[in-house]
Amino acid sequence: MEYRRLGSLSVSLVGIGCNNFGWRTDAAGTAAVVDAALESGINFFDTADCYGAGDSEKFLGAALKGRRDKAIIATKFGIKMGEGKEGAHPKYVHEALDASLQRLQTDTIDLYQIHRPDPNTPIADTLEALNDAVKAGKVREIGCSNFSAEQLREARATPGPQYFESVQNEYSLLKRESEAEVLPECARTGVAFLPYFPLANGLLTGKYRSGEPFPESSRAKDAFGPKIFTPQNLELAESLISFAESRNHSLLDLAFSWLAARPEVRSIIAGAKTAEQVRANSVAASWELTAADFAELDGILARFREQSPN
């Protein structure tokens, strides 16, 4: 497993997105995923207080009991957890942080992230509260999620001892908006980029084939399905499968390795429901694509964008 820097942290290139914990995955299933991750060299676990209404943090904390030192825990705050419990106002930052620490059964969160911008709170106020948490030893590094390049620059212009060390936005072969401004901003400032939905809600796993029925437990049957698993996207996935297989790799390898090729990307956050998925993900980022590979991929993707009705 390769490890990359995120501020003072050394994080595995492949991480575990914990949004399934407490929702699709129970406590026992969470423990199995965590076990497989640690055995595979994965040390980065990204959760949020709102995942599973708090159960994701609870299950992750329980699964790491007795081996907290083996893991880098990232969590997020800001999405509504109850009446008056949302946003990034300093008072709520401290309240949410203490609640997460309790659920995770830990004294320190390695990476504490604002889940999305709060238009009702000046970013300077939020950063002051987060820096207070760092000074108190409750947080090691601070980050943000779903921020634009402009919002990153606004935060960076705010006086204070510690700036966001990471930004977590959606990024995959199919979702490339971050390339326009956010990734260049990360390259310029050294901020770590953490892509979520790297497998496009499962479309890039290679499990879903055009003209074949979807597995009963598939992501294609949930709320994301109609938007992601369109005939055109399935046709694109087939083209990407052919590209990968012609080079003796899988679509899963391609999805991870394409992201890993960018130095701004420090950990690829992918959800997993089983130990088998964890083990497959853990070795999927080792393919070193060539310049010719990237050029051919850009051609494939461009053709499908031109055909898109959007």
Instruction: Return phi, psi of residue 118, to 5°.
Output: -110, 105
Query: Which candidate, 222, 205, 225, 212, places its Cα nearest to that of 280?
Result: 205
User: Which residues are paired to 269 by β-bridges?
Assistant: 15
Query: Which candidate, 29, 7, 19, 46, places its Cα nearest to that of 168?
Result: 46
Distances (CA, A) of 227 to 12, 71, 184, 203, 248: 31, 34, 28, 11, 30
d(CA 215, CA 72): 33
Could you confirm whether 51 is annotated as catalytic? yes
d(CA 235, CA 242): 11
Count Cβ atoms below 10 Å from residue 116 Cβ, excluding itself. Answer: 16
Catalytic position from the list 3, 51, 112, 196: 51
d(CA 291, CA 296): 9
Coil, strand, or helix at residue 115?
coil
Query: Which candidate, 293, 145, 146, 304, places its Cα nearest to that of 239?
Result: 304
Which segments within 197-303 are labelled E, that is strand?
268-271
**Which amino acids are annotated catalytic?**
51
